[in-house]
């Protein structure tokens, strides 16, 4: 049985306790994970705080920090196959997705490596002839980075990259559901040559590890990705240390298709928009809002494609949809579909768990046109389940798109440019993809509105968010 360790102050350490990790494809325990309790969390934060003020890190030039990040990116590329395989093993995310994602994880680190020496202050043209005033941009301090189990190498890269580029230090808390990839990532990070304590990687349960970390007096900023309920707890915890927060939360993203859209391209985008990562993706286009003029034909083509998706073992390159990460999520999917049917929704395909070991749930499409309050339309949950609503007018499409407390991503499919612009203006979400879906780049900011959180990851703004300004007044 494999054993994993924490990474604290540059050393690999056992936790105060241990817990089991299960293989989602078989349901069997495959590894033992270290569990961080209060003392482990305190040690990790102390190490990050000591590193933050150490001459080795605080005295390092920005370009030297950038060079270390470039080295880290190269090491990730070198170890990409092993990291991808480990993520697949622990989360059940299919190997073709983990392999593709690890390539752009390295690209995010390269982007922030290049930004390290481009985070500039400012000179202020103040109205006093004998005074020079300027703004220094300084690192915000010790960052608590907390991530969920899905896409964790990516979701931690968008925090660690800008934080280290800005000169912060980090305690990264991996999700208890599947911490192996990040605990292994720590071993790769260790080879890059950063001073000890600049990054610390721990895992444990929210109630103790997460709570101690987010209320810790030495934590200055909390960068969180996860669900809204956890975000509320974290914000309450941060009342203790008054740390700033950035919150990347869930979504219930609308995927809007007008009658003039390129149907084949919209169908393909919808298939990957909802079924990629077995639906376990915060930007999943989980609400199809479709013109009634093409609804029947579109759904027929979508059903055909959904039923042709190859379901299989996550480590098989041919697999397109693998198991859900946990049995709990499988139960949630089964329950929400059953409740939606009871509320009057019609299952077009899928809807029942597969008769095999592991937490497999098939691509599912549910028409909710007669059940506008069906729970699958209103609840954010991680599963390959697409809810469908029809519309007659553009106004109605926009109303349905915004009829959610979330506001993370959205997709609009139309050939009418003026209509596309009206929709871009009207949609309440942090991302609008027009005639495409799921496009990402390190340059483009990513984040949401409403219950989807606040703050942005990616792009220059994210690096600035890991800094605070100091106003300097100098009498000449
Ligand atoms: P979760 O909120 O249950 O857990 C996320 C992390 O928070 C885990 O590491 C967990 O241990 C930790 N945590 C739990 N309680 C805590 C506490 N009291 N204090 C501090 N930390 C605590 O989320 P999950 O089920 O692992 O992931 C699914 C959620 O994440 C979904 O809502 C999904 O939409 C969201 N998500 C958002 C994005 C995004 O970028 N917007 C990306 C991926 C996932």
Q: Are 415 and 394 in contact (CB under 8 A)?
A: no
Q: Tell me: do 233 and 340 sit in the same domain.
A: no
Q: Same structural domain for residues 240 and 264?
A: no
Residue 357's pLDDT is what?
A: 85
Residues 204 and 63 in one domain: yes
Indicate if 365 and 293 belong to the same structural domain: yes
Is the pLDDT confidence value at 25 over 90?
no
Work out the number of other CB atoms within 10 angstroms of the CB of residue 230: 18
Whether residues 209 and 260 fall in one domain: no
In a domain, 449, yes or no: no
What pLDDT does residue 97 have? 94
- Ligand 1 pocket residue status of 211, Cβ below 6 Å: yes
Mean pLDDT score across all residues of the chain: 96
Do 183 and 288 reside in the same domain of the chain? no
In a domain, 342, yes or no: yes
* Mean pLDDT calculated for residue range 231-247: 97
Atom of ligand 1 nearest to the CA of 173: 9
What pLDDT shows up at residue 441?
95
* Percent of the residues in the chain that have a pLDDT greater than 90, as a whole number: 95
What pLDDT is recorded for position 457? 96
- Structure confidence by residue, pLDDT tens digits, 257-301: 999 999 999 999 999 999 999 999 999 999 999 999 999 999 999
0.90 exceeded by the pTM? Answer: yes
For residue 442, tell me if it sits in a domain: no
Candidate of 147, 227, 232, 451 to mutate for ligand 1, largest count of ligand atoms within 8 Å of Cβ: 227
pLDDT tens-digit series, residues 169-185: 999 999 999 999 999 99
Q: What is the Å distance from ligand 1's center to 394 Cα?
A: 34
The answer on 92 and 79 residing in a single domain is yes
Residues 264 and 191 in one domain: no
Which residue from 63, 149, 151, 156 is spatially nearest to 109, judged by alpha carbons?
Answer: 156
| pLDDT for position 351 | 94
Residue 75 beta carbon below 6 angstroms from any ligand 1 atom: no
Nearest CA to 457 out of 227, 225, 214 is that of 225
Measured in angstroms, how far is the CA atom of residue 230 from the centroid of ligand 1?
Answer: 6
pLDDT confidence of residue 26: 85
Q: 28: domain range?
A: 2-249+458-472
Q: What is the mean pLDDT of residues 395-420?
A: 98
Three-class secondary structure of residue 311 per DSSP: strand
Domain presence at residue 448: no
**447 in any annotated domain:** no
Pocket test for ligand 1, best of 230, 245, 451 (most atoms within 8 A of CB): 230
Which tokens go with 22?
């299960």
The structural domain count of the chain equals: 2
Residues 8 and 120 in one domain: yes
Nearest CA to ligand 1 atom 42: 282
Annotation marks residue 320 as catalytic: no
- Asked if 232 and 332 sit in the same domain, the reply is no
Inside any domain, residue 134: yes
> pLDDT at residue 443 above 90?
yes
pLDDT tens digits, residue range 70-125? Answer: 999 999 999 999 999 999 999 989 999 999 999 999 999 999 999 999 999 999 99
Instruction: Judge if 282 and 260 occupy the same domain.
Output: yes
The token duo for 106 is: 């390295």
Which structure tokens are listed for 108? 């995010």
- Confidence band for 358, pLDDT divided at 50, 70 and 90: confident
Beta strand segments in 65-127, E: 122-124
Helices marked H in 140-262: 152-166, 180-190, 211-214, 228-241
- Whether the pLDDT of residue 63 is over 90: the answer is yes
| pLDDT band at residue 16 under the 50/70/90 scheme | very high
Res. 381 pLDDT band, cuts 50 70 90: confident
Q: Is residue 446 part of a domain?
A: no
Q: Is the CB of 445 under 6 A from ligand 1?
A: no
**Which CATH number characterizes residue 108's domain?**
3.40.605.10
Residue 201 has a pLDDT of 98
Q: How far is the CA of 43 from the centre of ligand 1 (A)?
A: 23
Q: Which ligand 1 atom minimizes the distance to the CA of 233?
A: 18
Token representation of residue 355: 């008769």
What ipTM describes this predicted complex?
A: 0.95
Q: What is the CATH number of the domain that holds 387?
A: 3.40.309.10
The CB of 426 under 6 Å from ligand 1? The reply is no
Query: What does the alpha-carbon distance between residue 124 and residue 134 come to, in Å, rounded to a whole number?
Result: 5
What ligand 1 atom has the least distance to the C-alpha of 207? 18
- Please count the helices (runs of H) and the strands (runs of E) in the chain: 16, 21
Asked whether 146 lines ligand 1 (CB < 6 A), one says yes
Catalytic entry in 248, 320, 380, 457: 248
Whether the CA torsion 30, 272, 410, 156 is positive or negative: it is positive
- Does residue 416 surpass a pLDDT of 90? yes
Please check whether residues 307 and 230 belong to one and the same domain: no
Average confidence (pLDDT) over 227-256: 96
Is the CB of 283 within 6 Å of ligand 1? no
What's the pLDDT tens digit per position in 315-351?
A: 999 999 999 988 899 999 999 999 999 999 999 999 9
């Amino acid at each position: 049985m494999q054993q994993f360790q924490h990474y604290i102050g540059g050393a690999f350490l056992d936790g105060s306790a241990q817990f089991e990790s299960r293989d989602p494809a078989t349901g069997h325990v495959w590894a033992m994970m270290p569990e961080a309790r209060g003392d482990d969390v305190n040690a990790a934060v102390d190490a990050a705080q000591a590193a933050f003020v150490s001459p080795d890190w605080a005295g390092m030039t920005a370009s030297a920090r950038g060079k270390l990040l470039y080295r880290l990116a190269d090491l990730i590329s070198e170890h990409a196959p092993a990291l991808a395989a480990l993520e697949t093993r622990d989360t059940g995310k299919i190997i073709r997705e983990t392999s593709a994602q690890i390539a752009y994880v390295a690209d995010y680190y390269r982007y922030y490596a290049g930004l390290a020496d481009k985070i500039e202050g400012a000179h202020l043209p103040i109205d006093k002839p004998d005074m020079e005033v300027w703004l220094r941009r300084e690192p915000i301090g010790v960052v608590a980075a907390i991530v969920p189990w899905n896409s964790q190498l990516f979701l931690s890269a968008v925090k660690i990259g800008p934080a280290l580029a800005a000169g912060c230090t980090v305690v990264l808390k991996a999700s208890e559901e599947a911490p192996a990839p990040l605990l292994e990532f720590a071993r790769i990070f260790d080879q890059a040559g950063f001073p000890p304590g600049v990054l610390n990687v721990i895992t444990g349960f929210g109630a103790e590890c997460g709570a101690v970390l987010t209320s810790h007096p030495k934590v200055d900023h909390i960068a969180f990705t996860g669900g809204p309920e956890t975000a509320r707890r974290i914000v309450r915890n941060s009342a203790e240390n008054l740390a700033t927060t950035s919150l990347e939360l869930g979504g219930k993203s609308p995927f809007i298709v007008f009658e003039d859209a390129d149907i084949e391209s919209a169908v393909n985008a919808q298939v990957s928009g909802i079924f990629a990562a077995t639906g376990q993706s915060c930007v999943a286009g989980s609400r199809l809002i479709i013109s009634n003029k093409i609804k029947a034909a579109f759904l027929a083509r979508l059903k055909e494609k959904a039923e042709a998706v190859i379901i299989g073992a996550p480590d098989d390159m041919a697999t397109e949809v693998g198991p859900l990460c946990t049995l709990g999520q499988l139960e949630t999917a089964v329950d929400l579909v059953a409740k939606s049917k009871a509320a009057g929704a019609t299952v077009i395909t899928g809807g029942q768990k597969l008769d095999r070991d592991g937490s497999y749930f098939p691509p599912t499409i549910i028409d909710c046109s007669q059940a506008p309050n069906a729970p699958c339309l209103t609840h954010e949950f991680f599963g390959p389940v697409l809810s469908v609503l029809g519309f007659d007018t553009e106004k109605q499409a926009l109303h349905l798109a915004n009829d959610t407390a979330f506001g993370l991503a959205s997709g609009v499919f139309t050939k009418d440019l003026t209509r596309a612009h009206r929709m871009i203006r009207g949609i309440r979400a942090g991302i609008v993809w027009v005639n495409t879906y799921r496009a990402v780049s390190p340059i483009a900011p990513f984040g949401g509105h409403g219950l989807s959180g606040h703050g942005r990851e990616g792009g220059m703004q994210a690096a600035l968010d890991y800094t605070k300004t100091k106003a300097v007044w100098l009498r000449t």
